[in-house]
Amino acid sequence: MRTVVTGAAGGIGSAVAARLQADGHDVVGIDRQEADLTDPGAVERVFAAIGTVGVLVTCAGLTEGAPVHRTDPADWHRIIDANLTSAFLCARQVLPGMTAAGEGVIVTIGSVLGHTVAPGLPAYAAAKAGLVAFTRQLAVDYAAHGIRAVTVSPGWIRTPATTARLGGPEDEARQREAHLGRLGTPEDVAAAVSFVVSPAAALLTATEIVLDGGASAVQAASLLRTAPRAALGLPPL
């Protein structure tokens, strides 16, 4: 059986694909070049070509947004689809094969922003919160078929997308302080996924691993910064 990693062209997805391949998995990476993962027909076609899947890791997503009063409904649906609907469509394709085989692992990549919040990301936060509930539902519904489902939710991970949202060196210093002295890397997330899909995690299912160096235990510094809130049209806290 094969291992599929979505969003594999860069960032977390690329690191996950590389780590699982190093672990001995037969990895197939899917990104925008291979399929539009928000299109049911495109998802069905790409998975039909792959065959039976034993491990699915959904890393595909989109980190962008604006405050609710500036969010166009079309953008809301686009962000929800990229982060949540894509995981549903992929899981829907692999579950029949996993059920027939009596085993399988589905890992969804969430975010601490499904629990805490940062200014101007309402659709993203809603999608990531929904992803946790969706994954737990998978775990419960398919446990009798030997299928596990777990969400890995990173905090600030040093990728181009997250780095662009940091408000300069001072903000990065605050984030490092909240994250055990350093921001996470895609390889940190890949290491967690490697464990989740391994036999060592045989009893791990219907849960979420928060991978943020403890940052979600404290008030997010980014919520208190006046300049980014003003740029988004939000008043100071």
| Helix, strand, or coil (residue 153) | strand
What band does 231 get if pLDDT is binned at 50, 70 and 90?
confident
Segment 183-204 mean pLDDT: 96
Res 184 pLDDT > 90? no
User: Residue 214: exposed, middle, or buried by beta-carbon count in 10 A (0-12, 13-18, 19+)?
Assistant: exposed
Cβ pair 3, 55 in contact under 8 A = yes
Q: Which among 116, 129, 115, 113 has a CA at the least distance from the CA of 162?
A: 113
Active site residues per annotation: 124
**87-132 pLDDT, tens per residue?**
999 999 999 999 999 999 999 999 999 988 778 899 999 999 999 9
**207-229 pLDDT, tens per residue?**
999 998 887 776 554 555 666 67
Residues 6+ apart with CB under 8 A from 182: 176, 213
What band does 177 get if pLDDT is binned at 50, 70 and 90?
low
| DSSP run (H or E) holding 107 | strand 104-109
Res 7 pLDDT > 90? yes
Res 155 pLDDT > 90? no
Is pTM beyond 0.75? Reply is yes
